[in-house]
Amino acid sequence: MKKYHDNTQCIHGPEHFEDPHGALTAPLYQTSTFAFKDAAQGAARFAGEEAGYIYTRLGNPTTRELEQKLAQLEEMEDAAATATGMGAVSASVLSFLQQGDHLIASSALYGCSFALFAHMLPKFGIEVTFVDMTNETELKAALKPNSKMIFAETPINPNMTVLDLKMLGDFAKQHQLISVIDNTFMTPLLQKPKHFGIDIVIHSATKYLNGHGDVVAGIVCGTKEHIELIKLTVLKDIGATISPHDAWLINRGLKTLAVRMARHCESAQKVAEYLEKHPKVSKVYYPGLASHPGYKFLGEQMKGAGGVIAFEIVGSLQDGEAFINATELCTLAVSLGDPETLIQHPASMTHSPYTPEERQAAGISDGLIRISVGLEDVEDIIADLENAFRGF
């Protein structure tokens, strides 16, 4: 099929859909199982001798449309859709690691990813070392003979630290490690980790890919070999597969991804510039600001700075709570990528699985506030923040 620009692929996908009834939108295959014409066909499909669907946990046409579209957008060979973003994280790790293996993970991660690595994997004999992945020396020092994988996010949730994907990709190849990058904050439109040698790319499809706050889902993209292993082991036997209805909703959401991301980025830049000048803000973390260390990656690694901002308020933790409570347009809620602007306190919410010491090591202060800038008029967002600042 002809290769189109990303904005076009978000709408049309890898294959032109032709419905026998002329429907413009691909139908939702809301079914648990698929009928065989005879016993021989059923046996052939289970044996892998004939292509076709068997049972939705093993595959579904609606789910497949989503997987093919994301694989194409990430420029990977294939993809697997999962029931949640954490389903994507766990599938990308458990499919390739076993007892006795060693995982090197970024010291700053989404709270549940951190909890999985710090508290659950060691129970099954998988060793984990957390490092500052902006520091190649620290990364090298973490290497062990049993090291098998590196896992990171960029930008990092919630402090928006940007990692050097080329350095990570080269490091993984040099030491024969599987590299996994969570690309949720950027989407394939703003960043393609494969271009820098990354093996596996994951997303919480709950966020920008769906874009409407009504789905929880995940995506893992990689080689055909990697995705086949994920589907035939962890997804098949543990069962964190996506529902067809959720896949259909994400397929719908992807059609507007390009225009939504453009608006998120444009508005977030204006909000970040406003916050950086505010006397009650001590620090703003947003890669679109020249003051941010990640600014240097704009252009080559990242096409845009995304829609998430973190910042520190001058004052006490109570002042931060008062600020959040005083907002009216901004919704006090976790997650990101919704049409609504969302505001939250990472230390007590998304990153509460960290101990205070672990949060400090990861650069997540008690006063840090995170905003997912939505699609409202940016002047209204800024006015809401300004009104909240007046409250303390």
Model confidence pLDDT, tens digit, residues 83-93: 999 999 999 99
What lies within 8 Å, CB to CB, of 228 at 6+ separation is: 78
Tens of pLDDT, residues 275-291: 999 999 999 999 999 99
In the chain, the percentage of residues whose pLDDT exceeds 70 is 98
Tens of pLDDT, residues 152-172: 999 998 889 999 999 999 999
- In degrees rounded to 5, what are phi and psi of residue 317? -60, -35
Tens of pLDDT, residues 93-139: 999 999 999 999 999 999 899 999 999 999 999 999 999 999 999 99
Tens of pLDDT, residues 22-57: 888 889 999 999 999 999 999 999 999 999 999 999
Give 93's strand partners.
none
Q: How confident is the model at residue 206 (pLDDT cuts 50, 70, 90)?
A: very high
Q: Which amino acid is at 261?
A: M
CATH superfamily of the domain spanning 257-389: Aspartate Aminotransferase, domain 1 (3.90.1150.10)
**What's this model's pTM, rounded to 2 decimal places?**
0.94
CATH second-level architecture of 6-254?
3-Layer(aba) Sandwich (3.40)
Asked whether the beta carbons of 71 and 79 are under 8 A apart, the reply is yes
- β-pairing verdict for 218-222 and 331-332: unpaired
Catalytically annotated residues: 57, 110, 182, 207
Q: How far apart are CA 386 and CA 275, in angstroms?
A: 9
Tens of pLDDT, residues 229-267: 999 999 999 999 999 999 999 999 999 999 999 999 999
What 3-state DSSP class applies to 105?
Answer: strand
What's the confidence (pLDDT) of residue 362?
A: 67
| CB burial of residue 209 (10 Å; 0-12, 13-18, 19+) | buried
Domain ranges of the chain: 6-254, 257-389
- In degrees rounded to 5, what are phi and psi of residue 387? -65, -40
| 272 token code pair | 């970040």
Across all residues in the chain, what is the average pLDDT? 93
Neighbours of 203 (CB within 10 A): 30
What's the confidence (pLDDT) of residue 17?
A: 63
Q: How far apart are CA 220 and CA 234, in angstroms?
A: 12
Sheet with 78-82: strands ordered across: 78-82, 218-222, 200-204, 178-182, 147-153, 102-106, 127-131
pLDDT at 1 over 70: no
Q: How confident is the model at residue 368 (pLDDT cuts 50, 70, 90)?
A: confident
Q: Rg of the chain's alpha carbons, rounded to an integer?
A: 21
